[in-house]
Amino acid sequence: MKTFKDLKLNINEAGEGSDTPSGSGEPDFAGNLPHAMYQIEKPGVIEQINGYLKALSEKEYIEPRGAIVELRHKLNIINLDFKFREGIVGEGKTEYQLTANGGRFGWDMEVGDVVSDDGVSHRLGHGLKLECEAVQGENGLWRLTCEVVPSK
């Protein structure tokens, strides 16, 4: 029977080599990645998210609601979310307060009390909001321009 130490060694050996994602011979795990998009507190991550949002604004949509739904889906992949009110989205600017992992609720060992927040503020020192502007073009299709910016 193999010991845990032997099993751990076999697992690590299976991941070694230049064909690992980092090329370093050490297996990468999601929590140890240097530039994971969900680690919003790291420098440059918000800029990368905004770069993606800028690329999204190059597309045209039949209705702006569809663009908001697609945007929300993509942000959910990196654990960011916002409350989207059902209904018709019209022309103009809209702001959505962002939460990370649906927010936080529970006992915080550092504070020594129950906390309930957006899951972002304690990591950045401020919240984040998504500012979107929907504009209908001459062809009847919609463009959505969005950016993640700090909030109060």
Domain boundaries, the chain: 43-151
Task: Give whole-number Cα distances, 86 to 10, 90, 95, 129, in Å.
Answer: 51, 12, 15, 19
Residue 108 corresponds to which tokens in the numbers above? 């915080």
Q: Is the pLDDT of residue 31 over 70?
A: no
Per residue in 57-97, pLDDT tens? 888 999 888 888 889 999 999 999 998 876 667 788 989 99
Question: pTM, whole model, 2 decimals?
Answer: 0.70
Q: How confident is the model at residue 14 (pLDDT cuts 50, 70, 90)?
A: low
What is the pLDDT at residue 87? 62
Among the listed residues 78, 31, 29, 30, the one whose alpha carbon sits nearest the alpha carbon of residue 51: 78
Higher pLDDT residue, 23 or 150? 150
* Count of other CB atoms within 10 angstroms of residue 4: 7
